[in-house]
Structure 1
Amino acid sequence: MQLLQRRRWWREDVTLNRDQQITAHIRFKGGAHRTLKLPLPLKSWQRWVTPAAVIEEIDALLNHHTVLQIAKILNKRGFPSGTGRPFNAKMVARLQRNYCLKPRYDRLREAGLLTLQEMADALHVTPTSVKIWNRRGLIRGHAYSDKNECLYDPPGNDAPRKTMGVKLSCRRRHPDVVSDRREEV
């Protein structure tokens, strides 16, 4: 109480106005006055907004990585989340959805990649054979989720085909086999 009484001697009256900023008009005893202008405090949700640079980075990374891989990359590069915690797959997926970023699946489909069933029909094999051939490097698959779901490059003229009695390890492999889901971060 004494502290409040001691401080009271130097000011007579304070007026606060709140528009685009907070303006405080202070009138002191003896006639002097002063005006202070302060920015408005952020609303609680505004303090937790993810920086725009992070959203742009997520958008760029969606062309080549799944959401879990993106979370690991962002954490490794030291990008901050809005809450200050490390990124995880759920956070990246939520940011992608909330900021209307095109999903990886749609990006790959627009690039002309085929679904599992479309690839199986094009090669005249079962979907299981397509998955096995992808693992063995005979065709190239691009992961679009963290559940080993892939879209496949169109087979082209030199497509692999069933060959009875020939081991998969002895067959021609795709020249640049690098599974997106196995890529180290």
Structure 2
Amino acid sequence: MAITTRRELKAVLFDRDGTLVLDVPYNTEPDLVRPVEGALPALTRLRRDVLLTGVVTNQSGVARGLITVHQLHSVNLRVESLLGPFDVWEYCPHGPEDACDCRKPRPGMILSACNYLGIRPDECAFVGDIGADMKAAAAAGSRGILVPTPVTRQEEIDAAPEVAGSLEEAVDQLLARSIL
């Protein structure tokens, strides 16, 4: 008989734009940051359950010269002031053509965040709004939950390992099955 190792959920990582905050393409203005409905209550529940939280975000606007690293950090600080504190932040400043290891759907940022937090990828879940997020979670060996938005394609929804109608529903699913 095979013995299955069960890992306790220790952290939940989130995509930023479209998942935690409304997507403002290449946002350079912290005042434009608006949390999605239910983001703060969902994060509060996770933190109350002593789970670590983090943000993992592609930011190709840096590579494209549409946003500076300083502007990116200013927007991230605004996200944190509205929804934080987060235990880890990871961002990829590269464009799709750069073929880096960090840009989702590759797992680099999730693996880096887990390393920083001192946990294994299978002790982490990743919540995002597009297929690249789910592919990154799978490639890292983490649990993935898709929270679709109007820009999420149907084939991404169909391919997702788990789907939730909102961030609060995603947290319900995570806390209901906190053992991976």
Using the size of structure 1 for normalisation, the TM-score is 0.20
Larger-gyration structure (1/2): 1
The alignment's TM-score, normalised by the length of structure 2, stands at: 0.21
Higher RCO (Cα < 8 Å, 6 or more apart): 2
